[in-house]
Structure 1
Amino acid sequence: MRIILGSIYTFLLCFIILLLNSPLSALAADFYPKTVQSQLKLATFDVDATPPVGSSLTYDPMINSWDLGLRAKGIVILGAGEPIVMCSVDWIGIANDSQDEFKRIMAEAAGTIPSRVVVHAIHQHDAPTSDFGAENMLKTAGLSTLAFEGSYARDLIQRLGQAISKSITSAVPFTHIGTGQAEVYKVASNRRILGPDGKVKYTRTSATKDSVIRAAPEGLIDPMVSLISFWNNDKPLAVLSYYASHPQSYYRTGISNPDFPGIARFMRQLAVPDALHIHFNGAGGNLTAGKYNDGAKENRLILAERLADGMKRAWDNNKRNPVSPASVKWSIESVALKPAAGIENLEAAMKTQTSVFLSNNLSKLVWLKRLEAGKKIDISLLSIGNARILHLPGEPFVEYQLAAKAERPDLFVAVAGYGDYAVGYIGNAIAYSQGGYETGQASGVTAEAEGILMKAIHKLLTVKSK
């Protein structure tokens, strides 16, 4: 009996060994989840985000659309754990409950969780805003929902979900990422010009007509445009660009348009048509094109050409490196920023303030209530090969971007601002003692934001990205 059992055991062992080394094992592996997850794939999506005429843009009723419409573009990374979704929208901002809903629907479509989805705005001013919490607050108070009317935003969310679901069915392998950067000449300038007393003397707006203010030095900026591209061997699939500046040449026209970053993106799409081009605005809260733009409409093309030129040179500098699922990591630090004094007074001001004031500030009140309910804002980092992409909320000052890059000079670090738009401007600590528009009522946080954000950035880039 023992001999028979031993023979059976030996036979089964030999059969298993033969099976594992046979062509059938490759067929079986196609159905084994871990093997499926061993290959990185990329899906891309591109959706029209232009609302219909008659809708409310952030500051004005929409009377027409431009030659170039607004877009919502993004990628889905598959094969490195739960899918990762990154989306950029040609809107001024997406805040609070709207962030939640965008992420929820997009996560469902991608088969992932909301914390592995980021939605950023490029911050063009002739474009919509979205905050379902603000919309509900105005409705509850019996007031017009103004720019926060959310019908079109809900439609866009559903179409994004459909586009993501469809894109995943045609996802393609990606084997390499490319990184490249180049200086952009004569676009960004620091908007906060200090006087001899160390206080803000002038604010250089997007279109600065005063020649004296334009003549002031460029100031602290990040002059580099950073490109991270995804490749299937030698075929480019997607190009993500990052540049820090307010993206306006002129606005308050009632005509929705993607302004000069959208034009530059379109130029690069024509130049490299095989890859989807997706642009993210960096930490440019205190940067504008004001030194180089007096508001003349011809400057929109000039600024676009300068940005596109930088993008081209960054593309030409591209260095491609292989990547594997093991080299892809998603990390999060959730932060509770300190609210500025007086935000609670916005509730009483809703019935008396202008629509422009409410468009700029009401999301701060919604955020305060969410904060009091225990909700935090996620700071996230995508690590992929030698590249790191940091995702920040609000309108962060360029100091955060420069600090993030300095944190890891051994890596290629890109920064996207304008995630959850709720808190408005996020200055560095000293800026709150210098005065100026950005760190006054336009900021929903205090000088303590620097310590909180920098702690999260340091942890993400030095601990969680390993």
Structure 2
Amino acid sequence: MRFNFWLLSRSALSCLSFFLMMTAPLSAEIKIAKFNVNATPEIGGPVAYASVRSVQDPLSARGIVLTFDNQKPVVLCAIDWIGIYNSGQDIWKEKLAAAAGTTSDRVAVHGLHQHDGARCDFGTEEKLQAVGLGGMFFDNDFCLETIERVTAAIKTSLSEAEAVTHIGTSKAKVEKVASNRRLLGDDGKVKMMRWSSSRDAEAIAAPEGVIDPFVHQVSFWNSETPLAVLSYYATHPQSHYGKGDVTCEFVGIARNDRDKEVPSALHVHFTGAAGNVAAGKYNDASPENRPVLAERLRTGMESAWSGVEKQPITEEECRWVAHKVLLPISEDRNEKELANILNDDSASDRARVGAAMKLSWWERSQTEWNAEISVLRLGNVQILHMPGEMFVEYSLAAEKMRPEHFVCMAAYGQGGCSYIGTEIAYWQGGYETGKNASSVSPDVEKFLMKEIETLLTESEAP
């Protein structure tokens, strides 16, 4: 009897265990796929301010695809170009989404804004071709070829995706790189621009001003193995530029060094809200200073990595929220005036190109939306993806909105709007908020601050 009772009890326990296993909620799996492809234009091709005469450092388009059991994939891509504008953003997102098996609203593509990198704006190039300026400032074929390389790499990487068990967060101060570009006078208005480099004694002596001194890192792990690191730092990323010597600049050099130092993890760097931040206080534009700035950023990245804190992550803690938004357009944008400049043979080529880009943005802004913004929630991490050359005040405000979370911001998404200042900055004057530089109105601050708060809130919803 005792033996039979033991068999019965064991059988009952087995059935109970099987029942509990089948009815208990199972954590869905997160996987990460990585891609890294060449994005370097050929000698003679157009980059931001000249034709390519040399390649100092190759450019890359790199990023990750996060896949889930119960959600569509998410694609994050960063490219060593000065920017992707207007319809360029649409095509990049559509192509990458198709390759990853997701929808375009779950794709974020950002330029790092190196000033010796390419521009991408398919619609504007078509306008320039119509007035005899095709191929001088944009190369649609090269851009499409780069997109094809990225899509092919994404498809390959999905078959090699690795499981993600933990998310890491870390940040560290970067010494003597970033400084605010806008120096104010006693009247509260801009009296001097410090730019990306300076040899002016007053500009160099002035305080750093409003910046975010920290490089933020979000890392993906399979147990103890790091798989990818996303970094975010707010500064214009150039030391010297404009002669056609292609380079990924000091931000790309630092990122590439970290690739070598942590070889199992792909490093993907994003430029943060850096519209009014550059290296001008610490950069004299000498070629010798580029590796100095690169080493300072690399040191900050290494310091952040040494303090990484890991937490387990499940799909249930991941969420993507995206909004199509209509950024308020600058009131001085005039379709007829822009078209007249574009078609004026006596105007400079650069003025006509500027008019074509602004006209593309004006046309885009006559519809229901002109830009996309989004947030990726990963446990206590919230990563915002924003358009244009946003002032650093936006990312600082986002962090204050959620002090209990690890908040990062990538700017330089939709580039058609150009600079996005704060409301007071349009009164203060200065380059960034002038007619030639910003295509949005001062109302943009109230609009975007509300949108940022909404994104953060919606990503927290169960």
TM-score normalised over the length of structure 1: 0.91
Match of 2:8 in 1: none
Code of the residue aligned with 1:456 in structure 2: it is: E
1:459 Cα shift?
Answer: 0.5
> Structure 1 359/385 Cα, relative in aligned 2: closer, same or farther at 3 Å?
farther
Deviations 1:28-72 (A, max 9, x none): xxxxxx98x921100000000001111011110111111x20000
Match of 2:30 in 1: 40
Deviations 1:301-356 (A, max 9, x none): 11111111111111111000000011110001222111113332222112344344
1:358 Cα shift?
Answer: 4.8
The answer to whether the Cα contact below 8 Å between 1:187 and 1:289 also exists between their aligned partners in 2 is yes
Match of 2:449 in 1: 454
Match of 1:332 in 2: 322
Question: How many residues align structurally?
Answer: 438
Q: Percent identity?
A: 45
SS in 2 for 1:246: coil
Match of 1:431 in 2: 425
The answer to whether the Cα contact below 8 Å between 1:335 and 1:452 also exists between their aligned partners in 2 is no
Deviations 1:412-445 (A, max 9, x none): 0000000010000000000000010000020001
Which of the residues 337, 361, 364 maps onto 1:367? Answer: 361
Instruction: Find the aligned partners of 1:358 and 1:275 in 2 and give their Cα distance.
Output: 44
The answer on 1:125 being equivalent to 2:115 is yes
Instruction: Find the aligned partners of 1:361 and 1:396 in 2 and give their Cα distance.
Output: 21
Instruction: Find the aligned partners of 1:357 and 1:179 in 2 and give their Cα distance.
Output: 44
Code of the residue aligned with 1:287 in structure 2: it is: V
SS in 2 for 1:137: helix
* Deviates further, 330-339 or 253-262: 330-339
> Structure 1 322/126 Cα, relative in aligned 2: closer, same or farther at 3 Å?
same
Deviations 1:377-397 (A, max 9, x none): 111000001111001100000
Point out where structure 1 has 5 or more consecutive residues left out of the alignment.
1-16, 27-33
The answer to whether the Cα contact below 8 Å between 1:363 and 1:423 also exists between their aligned partners in 2 is no
Aligned pairs for 1:288-299 within 5 A: 288-299=278-289
Match of 1:184 in 2: 174
The answer on 1:349 being equivalent to 2:341 is yes
1:359 Cα shift?
Answer: 5.1
The answer on 1:155 being equivalent to 2:145 is yes
* Deviates further, 265-274 or 115-124: 265-274
Match of 1:102 in 2: 92
Match of 2:277 in 1: 287
The answer on 1:71 being equivalent to 2:60 is yes
> Structure 1 200/361 Cα, relative in aligned 2: closer, same or farther at 3 Å?
farther
The answer to whether the Cα contact below 8 Å between 1:58 and 1:359 also exists between their aligned partners in 2 is no
Which of the residues 223, 229, 253 maps onto 1:263? Answer: 253
Code of the residue aligned with 1:172 in structure 2: it is: E
The answer to whether the Cα contact below 8 Å between 2:390 and 2:420 also exists between their aligned partners in 1 is yes
Instruction: Find the aligned partners of 2:162 and 2:236 in 1 and give their Cα distance.
Output: 34
SS in 2 for 1:348: helix
The answer to whether the Cα contact below 8 Å between 1:360 and 1:442 also exists between their aligned partners in 2 is no
Instruction: Find the aligned partners of 1:328 and 1:363 in 2 and give their Cα distance.
Output: 37
The answer on 1:203 being equivalent to 2:203 is no
SS in 1 for 2:384: strand
SS in 2 for 1:333: strand
1:149 Cα shift?
Answer: 2.6
Match of 1:90 in 2: 80
1:298 Cα shift?
Answer: 1.0
